[in-house]
Structures are given as C-alpha cells and as structure tokens.
Amino acid sequence: MQPKQLQFPLAPEQGPKAKPFLKWAGGKGQLLAQIGQHFPPELWEGSLTKYAEPFIGGGAVFFQVANNFNMHELFISDMNEDLVLAYRTISQQVELLIEQLQLIGRLYRDLDPDGRSEFYYETRLSFNQDRPFANGGAPEDIAEHVARLIFLNRTCFNGLYRVNSRGHFNVPHGNYVNPRICDAANLRSVSRSLQNTEIHFGDFTACRDFVDESTFVYLDPPYRPISKTANFNSFYKYPFGDDEQKRLAHFYQELGDAGAKLMLSNSDPHNENPDDSFFEDLYAGFSIHKVSANRRINSNGAKRGPITELLIANY
C-alpha cells in the first residue's frame, strides 16, 4: 500500500527546497512519506517549534522538517568530523564551497577515463591526509576539503561514504559518465535551511541541553546489523554495538522524561530471526511501527529486496 500524500502546513516557497547533498548509507530518502505518516500530531498542529536530529547523516528527515514546518530552532550533530565540517561550511561559506566544487568538476570532466580514475585516487589521498578541522584551518582549505568530500561521494562506487579502521575514506572509483559534482542551487537551498540550526560535533547526547517539551527529536543511529552483509556500523569510524544501542535507549527515555516527542529508526531483527526481541525488550512500553524499505547495500544483488525497518515513538 502506498502512503497517502502528506499535506504540509507551510505554503510552497519560490525556488527549490533543500534536499540531501550527500548520498549516505542508511539514508531515509525512500522512507520520507512513511516516516511523515508517523510524525507526532503536535508537529502538524504547530505546538512543536524546535527540532533536533543527532546522527544527521544525509539529513533527509531534517530537510523534510525544515522545508515544511515552522521550526524556530534546529539542532544537528554527528560523530563524523567530515560530515559536521560539511554542514558548517555550507551554512557559513557556501559560495566558497561552490567555487571549489566547480573547479574540481571542470578538472575532472576534461580528463579521459584513465585520467579521471587517477584524479579520483589522488583526490582521495589528499582528502585522507588533509584534516583542516584538526587545527582550525583557513576557510579556503576547509572549503577545499569539503569539496573533495562531495566530489568523492558523487564519483565513487555506489556513491557511498565508508571508512576503514583508521578513519580513511576507502571507496573505489565509480567511473560514472557524467556525474553531477556541483549542484549549486541545492547547496544554496541547504545553506538557507541551516541558518537557524546549531551544528555540533559529538555523540547523540550533545542535544541534551537543547531538548525540551517543545522539541521533536528524530534519532537515526547506525543500525543494529541483521546479517553479516547488512552491517551499517562498517560505514562509521566509531563502533556502535549493542551496548551503545542500550545507552541510546536510556537517553531516549531521558529525553522523553523532559517532555520531548521522539522518533527513532532502526533495523528490524525479524527480517532474519523471528525470535529476536532485542528492540521490543529495549523499548518496551513505546510504540513500535514497521515500515517497508529496499535493502540497497548488500554484497549479494539477489538480496537487495524489500525488508521492514522499525520506527519507535513515545507518542
């Protein structure tokens, strides 16, 4: 069954609405309509005026909320330094970033296939070696680093961000014919959406002081793996095992006690093991909904099919 069309409270504005500028493992673009069906009633009624999203990732739900609801204050955070740097740069230096991306795009498009591959791996090496956030680098250096991130995301195999145990980006070249490296219009839209947004580097508890009874919080942590080939933890530098899932559940309860409305996404263990009650036990007493998704990241193409994921809400 297709989810019904959502009628958002804000009138359409002139110009394009912001959308994710990176493809991210576990991104929620395909699930936006289903997730929207489960937004808290208070959000539609206008009594929730603050929004927080730890684990920001690609930000599909963030942009859905920022584009369509009258949020006075927004908060995003993540434990990925490159990702946080990208959001901050788009918020504060979007034109400088666009210039850097356009330059990279021109250099890349002028090369033959072998030259493009060589350019890609040279850029990946520079991206992994240069860490401008470690010493408060100059705006031009930071914009160049973020431009490399976006370039790699647009031209790497399957458009993924993945790091090894040292935190180095390690996805091979994707060899696309005409990748869109610089979407200037969307980057400017993203920048506008971020103007009243606090952007933090930190784990999910960084939002603690921001959250109150006027806040809607959406949490999208690294999913608990349901099989060896569906382990989203491999896309993050920091491990997020069952102990972290339990710590998050305790924090979820803490935010609920503060009066916030909460929604959390995670994998559905029943896709592989009907007897696995990990989340039912961990979030006993809360509403647990199932939504349909397509498994897009799997080494076996035959297993990239429909699955269910969980939405856990305290309302």
Q: Are 30 and 61 in contact (CB under 8 A)?
A: no
**Six token digits for residue 241:** 């095992």
CATH of 29-79+202-313, one of 3.40.640.10, 3.40.50.150, 3.40.50.720, 3.40.50.300: 3.40.50.150
> CA–CA separation, 122 vs 127, rounded Å?
9
> CA–CA separation, 147 vs 43, rounded Å?
35
Any idea where the domains of the chain sit in the sequence? Answer: 29-79+202-313, 91-183
Across all residues in the chain, what is the average pLDDT?
Answer: 90
User: Mind listing the pLDDT tens digit for each residue in 20-49?
Assistant: 999 988 889 999 999 999 999 999 999 999
- Supply the pLDDT for residue 93: 96
Residue % of the chain over a pLDDT of 70: 88
Say what the pTM is. Answer: 0.91
Q: Is the domain 91-183 a CATH 1.10.1020.10 member?
A: yes
- For the ranges 29-43, 149-163, 214-228, 284-298, the lowest mean pLDDT is seen at 284-298
- Supply the pLDDT for residue 236: 59
User: Mind listing the pLDDT tens digit for each residue in 167-177?
Assistant: 899 999 998 99
- For the ranges 129-133, 142-146, 288-292, 299-303, the lowest mean pLDDT is seen at 299-303
- Supply the pLDDT for residue 303: 53
- Supply the pLDDT for residue 15: 62
Residue 1: pLDDT above 60?
A: no
> CA–CA separation, 21 vs 161, rounded Å?
12
Q: Distance of alpha carbon 196 from its chain centroid, rounded? A: 18
Amino acid at 212: D
Residue 235: pLDDT above 60?
A: no
SS3 199: strand
